[in-house]
Amino acid sequence: MNADKIASAGSPIRIESGLPTILEEEGEKPSTEQKQRRHHRVVDSIKVKVVANLESVTVKIENERMPITALQIENLSASTIIKSSYTELCLKLKNISISDKNPASIHTTILSVMGDDAMNCRVVLFNLDETSVYNSDDIKIEVSMGGIKFVFLNWYIQSVLNFLDNFQAAQEKIAEAGAAAAGAAKQNVVDAYAKATRMNLNVRIKAPIIILPEDSKSINALCLDLGNLSVTNHCYELPTANEENRKAVMDDMKLDLKDLKVTKVNLYQDTNLDASHGDISFNPDSGNAILTPTSFSLNIARNLSASWYKDRPDIEILGKMNSIVINLDTSDYKLIMDILGKNMQEGGGERKAPPPLAVAPKAETVNRETVQEVVRVHQELIKTPPSESCSETPTDDSKSMMIATFLKFSFQMDSLIINLQTDGDKGLASFGIYVLSVKGNKLADGSLNTSVVLCDIQWDDIRPQRENMITRFMGRKTSGKEDDTNAKSMIDITCSIKDTSIFAELRIRGFDLIISMDYIMKLMNFLNAPSVAATNDKVTVNDPKKLELATPKTPRDTQLTPPTPPNQSSKMTIIIAIEQPDIILVEKMDDINCHALILNCEAGLKFRQYGEKQIIRGDINNFNIHMCEFNPSRRAQTRYYVLKPVNISLSGSTPETEGLHVALTVSSIEICISPGTIQLVNRILATMNEQESSATNEEVAKNEYVDLWNVKDFTDDDFWFTQIEEATEAIDTLDDYSPIVNQKLEMCTIEVPSFIVKVESGFGYYTIPMLRIDSNVFMKVCNWSSNLSAEGSLQLGMSYYNSILALWEPLIEPNERELPNGLIESGPWELQFTAKMNQDRLESSFDEVPEEKQPLTKICVTATETLEMTVTKTCLEVLQNLGKGFSEAINSQLTTTQQTAPYVVQNDTGFDITFNLQRGGFSLHTSHLPQSEKAGEENAARGIVFQTKDDDGTVSPESVTTCTLSPGACVYLQLKDE
């Protein structure tokens, strides 16, 4: 368009005059000013507007040897708009990067940004007096962040920290300023919370990606992707109102973390190493993730009207973690161990210990007083929020008596499963924790109540082709029903903490733990990664002087001042209960009918402390070890006690002006050793020896010492004998040896009234005792924390079984003792012993003659009676038979109970014989029970027919009523109480 053809449709000036209006009735003509005033809108004008832009800034850090790092920030912009209705603050960061200038590292980019912008933040502070029509929030915060990739190198971290150590004084000033700022910020948060500040959050963050390389020169790394983080909230009002007609306000905040995963990556696969200095590129293997993607959600409900509305807690937190599945093979585990051994140890000598600063003694006092004041203020804020409206608002006496809930929290994790795999994606083991729940609350008076529930812990064998073998090594005991809805949790922890009292209870319910040495050795081979220490050329030699100084001192040496007495009003109660766990040591896992050793017990402990007084009560009931078949249906019939049930009782207290007094009482202990036990233990040890021999047969790498005599450079700090020692004042060492004041008497008594060891012979589980050792022990131990002393006695007796005369004959003859009344009694041979440690002689003078010095430890063993042993020909035969039987047991197989019974009845009458098993003390042996169709056919072939009470299909020795025996057949019987 040409300039000379420009036309105008009218003046830009507003026309003030309007068209004339014909009125139907008399009246005034509406003016234009009234119309304009009717449609007038007030526009909120900007009072202050500030815009700041920073195009680029770079900060480089160097030392006297080389450059360390460089920090670059690009396109940072900030703007502030202040209006009467609101104040808006915007912050935008385009890019931020950190680079490593170490020439020995290939990871030159430490931190970089993924996406267009690093961060966008918008904060709006509303004035509710002017925005109450369309807004109810006090603050609105919107944050969006792009992903950040960070490479963790311990060498780089140590270099930066070593540079910052040169500015210790500035660091302390910054720390003090930061602590003061944190205290002020905390006070502001408390004030905002007391004023029921409404905050609208909308945060979307791509969580950082942390890369852990094997070392500074390796492209193998772990990638920890923290996923996507989102934070939103919603404020709403409740129908409940106070006297001022203000409704209760609640704030629900939701935090979601999604797609959290860990993968093994190879860095710089898409580009060359020389071109990879600009960005961190990697190629994740998503199909073989170490940590499968998981999610986490957290809901936080805040009571913004907590000053008067007490029906809901001030803060309520609900957390939910979905299943966590970790898959580890040998290469993944090796990579993790290499990161811990190489990356975490790399650059250890880069950072040197900074020289200590001379700090005034008053500084520590001031800091402690400041910390105590902060803690005191924090506790007061929790108990009584500093709100004026809260103190002015009247409350009922009944409501004031109730303690409000300040914090209520609940966290639940579905499962944590760790799968171990060998090469070729073959399963090895699976360890799982199922349904972990943590709940609790904190009241306004500071008391805390917490409960932790763990439903089950399972350990499974996931190797292929093991469907009909033992695969569950650990798990909770079940009732055997398919629908077991009333099953109790495996671990329950309850804790309650108040101002001066602590109560904790731990309850572990029944579980099965199977130990197979063959399988455990395979797991040990998986966990025994190649040692990383062999790759380090530098060998660290410990300073013998430092080792001598680091030797733990006796309580006399380390006691500087008398211990401060505890608070007399403090109370502590701890209760521990363990309900019958079964720890099973199996012979092999290929057969469910294999032999096993089972340890079973039930334990409980109660500990109470009131000020200085302590009360301990512990019990271990039915502690036993028995050998049987692993098959649960066969355990009761094949049980053989190696250690018969024992009860152990522990009781202790602290009398007035004395230390802890403990009494340990053990019931009769009876240990049975048979060839079957030796066979089982020998097979388990043979399995361990096979694994150790296979490990020793592997080729051992030979060390080359061709450069042994080459000259190497070193610094004074490399070896302890080249370091410069710092002298210490002699008067400072005297404080370490001040004597203990007011040492209290401590005493522990141990009593075992009967300790029996039986050596038995026989086949299978039915044996006959041949050698017996009887003894009893009494011991008294005093002052174990200062001058240890002990005294006790042991009575010993030994006898062997004479099968010809069917009686026990003594091998160690009993001794005759004359009583004060003139009578003579016989008793076992007795041995007495005493032991004492003379700690008071540690500071003896060097001028003493060696003969005059008292020993540090004195042990005395005395026997006032003669030990008489009687060895006969029968005794030698018994010992010879025992030695022969145990030597044969090493290579022979265990005898099954189906061929061994205590009683055998042979029918040689030529007629059928019927036994009425309902009468008398005998029942049918378990070897005749129809465990399978083959067993029933064998019984028919043997000429044995028996009847049962019920026809429900289940047969037990108690249900058999009669048994008919054909001529020439035999039947095995057992006692009914067995």
CA distances (Å), 752 to each of 667, 702, 746, 776, 798, in order? Answer: 6, 54, 21, 6, 17
Q: How many CB atoms lie within 10 A of CB 243?
A: 8
Out of 51-55, 330-334, 339-343, 354-358, which region has the weakest mean confidence (pLDDT)? 354-358
916, 962 Cβ separation under 8 angstroms? yes
Describe the crossing of helices 517-527 and 675-696 by its angle, rounded to 10 degrees.
20
- Across 684-695, average pLDDT: 66
225, 263 Cβ separation under 8 angstroms? yes
How far apart (Å, rounded) are the C-alpha atoms in residues 924 and 902? 11
Quick one: which of 411, 346, 369, 373 has its CA closest to 154? 346
How far apart (Å, rounded) are the C-alpha atoms in residues 465 and 708? 52
Out of 263-277, 398-412, 737-751, 865-879, which region has the weakest mean confidence (pLDDT)? 263-277
Residue 384: what pLDDT? 40
Q: Burial, 215: exposed, middle or buried (Cβ in 10 Å; 0-12, 13-18, 19+)?
A: buried
How does DSSP classify residue 28?
P
Residues constituting the chain: 978
Higher pLDDT, 450 or 30: 450
Mean pLDDT of the chain: 77
How far apart (Å, rounded) are the C-alpha atoms in residues 662 and 646? 19
378, 183 Cβ separation under 8 angstroms? no
Interior angle at CA 20, CA 16 and CA 21, nearest 5: 125
> Hey, which residues does 939 pair with through a beta bridge?
none
C-alpha Rg value of the chain to the nearest Å = 41
Residue 577: what pLDDT? 95
How far apart (Å, rounded) are the C-alpha atoms in residues 689 and 700? 19
Pull the structure tokens for residue 397.
Answer: 């006496």
620 phi, psi to nearest 5 deg: -125, 110
Is residue 754 very low, low, confident or very high in pLDDT (cuts 50, 70, 90)?
very high
Quick one: which of 98, 210, 77, 201 has its CA closest to 147? 210
Q: How many CB atoms lie within 10 A of CB 849?
A: 6
- Across 263-289, average pLDDT: 59
Name residues whose C-beta falls within 8 Å of residue 158's C-beta, 6 or more positions apart in sequence.
Answer: 347, 348, 350, 351
> What are all long-range contacts of 739-743, with beta carbons under 8 Å and residues at least 24 apart?
739/556, 739/559, 740/555, 740/556, 740/559, 740/562, 740/786, 741/562, 742/562, 743/783, 743/786
Count CA atoms within 13 Å of residue 25 on its CB side: 1
Q: Does residue 38 carry a pLDDT above 80?
A: no
Is residue 575 very low, low, confident or very high in pLDDT (cuts 50, 70, 90)?
very high
Q: For residue 205, give the H/E element and its range.
A: strand 199-206
Q: What global pTM score does this model have?
A: 0.72
How does DSSP classify residue 531?
P
Show the beta-strand stretches assigned E in 517-657.
571-578, 582-586, 595-610, 613-629, 640-653
Is residue 693 very low, low, confident or very high in pLDDT (cuts 50, 70, 90)?
low
Out of 113-122, 132-141, 380-389, 415-424, which region has the weakest mean confidence (pLDDT)? 380-389
901, 972 Cβ separation under 8 angstroms? yes
How far apart (Å, rounded) are the C-alpha atoms in residues 842 and 854? 10
Q: Burial, 935: exposed, middle or buried (Cβ in 10 Å; 0-12, 13-18, 19+)?
A: middle
Q: What is the pLDDT of residues 192-231, one digit of tens each?
A: 666 667 788 888 888 889 999 999 888 888 999 888 999 9
Out of 21-35, 594-608, 856-870, which region has the weakest mean confidence (pLDDT)? 21-35
How far apart (Å, rounded) are the C-alpha atoms in residues 606 and 503? 11
Residue 234: what pLDDT? 87
Q: Does residue 517 carry a pLDDT above 90?
A: no
Out of 225-229, 262-266, 358-362, which region has the weakest mean confidence (pLDDT)? 358-362
- Across 90-116, average pLDDT: 89
Q: What is the pLDDT of residues 59-84, one digit of tens each?
A: 999 888 888 899 999 999 999 999 88
**What percentage of residues in the chain have a pLDDT greater than 90?**
25
Pull the structure tokens for residue 427.
Answer: 């399963």
Would the CA dihedral through 583, 588, 592, 595 be positive or negative?
negative
Quick one: which of 510, 519, 513 has its CA closest to 487? 510
**What percentage of residues in the chain have a pLDDT greater than 70?**
73
Name residues whose C-beta falls within 8 Å of residue 828's C-beta, 6 or more positions apart in sequence.
Answer: 774, 775, 795, 796, 797, 812, 814, 815
- 3 state SS of 769: strand
Higher pLDDT, 572 or 517: 572
How far apart (Å, rounded) are the C-alpha atoms in residues 649 and 655? 19
How far apart (Å, rounded) are the C-alpha atoms in residues 629 and 637? 9
